Amino acid sequence: MTQQIDVAAQAAEVIAHLRNFIKIPVGVSNKHVHLTQEDYDRLFPGEPMNRKKKLNQGDDFASDKLVTLVGPKGTMERVRILGPCRKYTQIELSMTDARMLGIPAPIRISGSIEGTPGLTIRSPHGEITVPQGVIVAKRHIHVQTKDAVLMGLHSGQEVCVRIESAERSAFLDKCEIRVGDDFTLEMHIDTDEGNAVGAGADATARIIG
Ligand SMILES: [Zn+2]
């Protein structure tokens, strides 16, 4: 009797092995704020949001606008607003930032803000208090849709990566895959994680499982 070969299963195994060799650039995200148009207009009435630096994902950019975050235990000045405006207001902090402000921010993937704490955002023109939106962003890897097919990855999947850096290479588990047509292959971690793994400009991540 001829042995039955499951080609699809074997191909998937080969792909899972080969993607381990792909070096994914690592970007460290500092604390930042995304605003709805309405919240932006309340903080910067009549002022356009100007593009200071384009970011790697979609049409995201670092704007020229800075705000102060106010929590029960402290304030943080010069926190950058990222554009363009979104459907929800979201404040992304590291755990260290959250502790300094006195806000129990949960680890969430961007956009998942239901039930999260809020805070006060202050600009030179006024301040707003948002009821929710403060998160510690869950570490994630942006993957372009076609690349995701080639690499055998899907949105919401969690992988373990090895971060390779000059002096603090490390393994990071539970990295969430995010797939999008306008994404560019890149891993995003926050400043706490970046410091922990010594992530300079040359740090790369390889999916190992
Ligand atoms: Zn990201």
Whole-number pLDDT of residue 1: 66
- β-sheet bridge partners, residue 161: 172, 207
| Joined tokens for residue 58 | 């979609």
Residues 6 or more apart whose CB falls under 8 angstroms from that of 159 comprise 141, 153, 175, 177, 207, 208, 209
Q: What is the distance between the alpha carbons of residues 113 and 52, in angstroms, rounded to a whole number? A: 27
Residue 178 near residue 24 (C-beta atoms within 8 A): no
Residues 6+ apart with CB under 8 A from 54: 60, 61
CA of 142 to the centre of ligand 1 (A): 6
Question: What is the whole-number distance in angstroms between the Cα of residue 188 and the centre of ligand 1?
Answer: 5
Q: Looking at residue 83, what is its pLDDT?
A: 96
* Ligand 1 (single-atom ion) residues, CB below 5 Å: 188
Is 56:29 a contact under the CB 8 Å cutoff?
Answer: no
* Average pLDDT of adjacent 10-residue blocks, the chain of 209 residues: 84 86 96 98 96 92 97 98 97 98 97 97 97 98 95 96 95 97 97 95 92
Distance 34 CA to ligand 1 centre (A): 13
State yes or no: cis peptide before 117, omega within 30 of 0. no
Looking at residue 3, what is its pLDDT?
80
Q: How far does residue 158's CA lie from ligand 1's centre (Å)?
A: 15
Ligand 1: centre distance to CA 77 (Å): 23
Expressed in angstroms and rounded, the spacing between residue 177 Cα and the centre of ligand 1 is: 10
Q: How far is the CA of 50 from the centre of ligand 1 (A)?
A: 21
Local structure of residue 153 (DSSP, 8 states): -
Pairwise CA distance, residues 82 & 58, whole Å: 12
> What domains sit in the chain, N to C, each tagged with a CATH number?
7-27+139-207 (2.40.40), 31-137 (no CATH)
Pairwise CA distance, residues 61 & 83, whole Å: 5
DSSP H or E segment with residue 164: strand 158-164
Span from the CA of 141 to the centroid of ligand 1 (angstroms): 7
Rounded CA-CA distance 46/201 in Å is: 37
Give every CB contact of residue 6 below 8 A, 6+ residues apart in sequence: none
Tokens matching residue 125: 């023109």
Question: What local confidence, expressed as pLDDT, does residue 86 receive?
Answer: 96
Q: Compute the distance from residue 28 Cα to the ligand 1 centre, in Å.
A: 9
Q: How far apart are CA 146 and CA 182, in angstroms?
A: 10
Give the pairing of strands 140-144 and 90-92: unpaired
Task: Give the single-character DSSP code of 79.
Answer: E
Quickly count: other Cβ atoms within 10 Å of residue 120's Cβ: 16
Which of 61, 65, 168 has its CA nearest to residue 123? 65
CA of 46 from ligand 1 middle (Å) equals 29
